[in-house]
């Protein structure tokens, strides 16, 4: 009986060996280069022309084309009623604070409330090089 148990144990280990021989540890950083760096910092700017005219950026979502940042969607709050032009500028910065790409969108907006601007970067920036995202808006006379 003992001999049979020993033989079954050896057979089981032989069958298990190919399964463990092919297991491989892959870190998340090897699959996603952005996972190896610290979290990105976001600067969301405010446009303060007058005390009552304080439009502000509320959120920024980056768009990827493969592993490069190709654009951004910016939501901002248009606080002052009326129709006027707003220029939204997004700048991507590296770890040293140097600009590696930027894009801007300008359009006329009416009324108040949340508004959206879509910005395209030229050139697209590799996501692993982007450490800071700065989004600012400004009321302008014309686009």
In the chain, what are the domain boundaries?
2-31, 38-140
Nearest by Cα to 62 from 6, 5, 107, 103? 103
Instruction: With a cut of 70, say whether residue 11 has pLDDT above it.
Output: no
pLDDT tens readout for residues 117-127: 999 998 999 99
CATH of the domain spanning 38-140: 2.60.40.3230
Prediction pTM value: 0.70
Place of tokens 């996972």: 35
Q: What is the pLDDT of residue 37?
A: 62
pLDDT tens readout for residues 25-38: 554 444 555 556 66
- Band (99; pLDDT cuts 50, 70, 90): very high
Q: Which H, E and C letters describe the chain, residue by residue?
A: CHHHHHHHHHHHHHHHHHHHHCCCCCCHHHHCHHHHCCCCEEEECEEEEECCEEEEEEEEEEEEECCEEEEEEEEEEECCCCEEEEEEEEEEECCCCCEEEEEEEEEEEECCEEEEEEEEEEEEEEHHHCCEEEEEEEEECCC
pLDDT tens readout for residues 39-98: 778 888 877 666 666 788 999 999 999 989 999 999 999 888 889 999 999 999 999 999
> Alpha-carbon Rg of the chain, whole angstroms?
26
């Amino acid at each position: 009986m003992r001999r049979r148990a020993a033989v079954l144990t050896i057979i089981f280990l032989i069958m298990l060996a190919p399964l463990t021989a092919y297991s491989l540890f892959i870190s998340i950083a090897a699959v996603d280069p952005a996972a190896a760096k610290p979290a990105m910092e976001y600067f969301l700017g405010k446009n303060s022309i007058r005390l009552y005219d304080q439009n502000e950026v509320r959120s920024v979502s980056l768009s990827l084309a493969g592993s490069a940042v190709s654009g951004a969607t910016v939501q901002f709050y248009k606080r002052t009623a009326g129709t006027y032009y707003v220029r939204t500028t997004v700048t991507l910065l590296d770890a040293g604070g140097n600009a590696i790409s930027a894009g801007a969108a300008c359009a006329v907006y009416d009324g108040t409330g949340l508004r959206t601007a879509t910005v395209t970067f030229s050139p697209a920036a590799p996501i692993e090089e982007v450490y800071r995202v700065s989004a600012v808006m400004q009321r302008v006379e014309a686009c």
